[in-house]
Amino acid sequence: MHHRRIDGLMSRRVVSVHRDTPFKDVVRALYESRVAAVPVVDDSEHVLGVVSEADLLRKTTDRAEPAGLPAVLDPEAWERAKAEGVRAEELMSAPAVCARPGWTFVEAAWCDSRVTPPRASVGPR
């Protein structure tokens, strides 16, 4: 069976955010780049973690609805900490799981499935 390789599926234009990037700027980076997640990097451009749309949604799931209804979830401590985060470093899932361009999509998905929540990005060859 032939499986597609990551290098045939990945975006060549990588958008990342610095660990100190404010929440609203992370949202802007996702929206403007039309991606569902961005790597979070340090001053040396090393990947520290990944901020995904799911990470950002945690900021809303622990709040009561405007109509006074209870919160959607009863978050665990780590989820509450993320929901209170204001910088990329506080919002991200870590460590990042890096797939290699030569891997098949199946290999990358298997690797990513071994962490919770999934958070793969593609690293150098």
Average pLDDT value over all residues in the chain? 77
Residue with tokens 């945690």: 58
Share of the chain above pLDDT 90, in %: 29
What distance in Å separates the CA atoms of residue 84 and residue 38, rounded to the nearest whole number?
19
Task: Supply the DSSP string of 57-94, one letter for each residue.
Answer: HHHHHTSPPTTSPPPS----HHHHHHHT--BHHHH-BS
pLDDT of residue 113: 60
> DSSP class of residue 96?
P
Give the model confidence (pLDDT) of 93-120 as tens digits: 888 877 788 888 788 777 766 554 444 4
CB 50 within 8 A of CB 40: yes
pTM value is: 0.68
Task: Please determine, for residue 84, whether its predicted confidence score (pLDDT) is greater than 60.
Answer: yes
Of residues 17 and 61, the one with the higher pLDDT is 17
